[in-house]
């Protein structure tokens, strides 16, 4: 079963997290880079999921302005 959690983050925090994940290669499409930072495929999958959620949340916040 999957549990969902709501995060209360400011736009600045969301942008910082997105940048940090990008610096770890989450959006690079290079599996070796991703594994180098996260050390397991499960962590890579989790990081990619969080990255996509943060991107969507950022777009919703910026679109609401």
Mean pLDDT (whole number) for 39-53: 91
> In the prediction, which pLDDT does 3 show?
67
Helix axes 11-23, 41-64, angle to 10 degrees: 140
Q: Compute the distance between CA of residue 7 and CA of residue 9 in angstroms, rounded to an integer.
A: 6
Mean pLDDT (whole number) for 33-37: 82
pTM of the model: 0.81
Q: At residue 1, does pLDDT exceed 70?
A: no
């Amino acid at each position: 079963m999957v549990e969902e959690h709501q995060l209360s983050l400011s736009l600045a925090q969301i942008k910082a997290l997105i940048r940090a994940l990008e610096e770890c290669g989450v959006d690079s499409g290079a599996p070796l880079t991703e594994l180098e930072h996260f050390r397991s495929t499960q962590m890579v999958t989790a990081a990619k999921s969080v990255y996509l959620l943060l991107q969507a949340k950022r777009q919703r916040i910026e679109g609401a302005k």
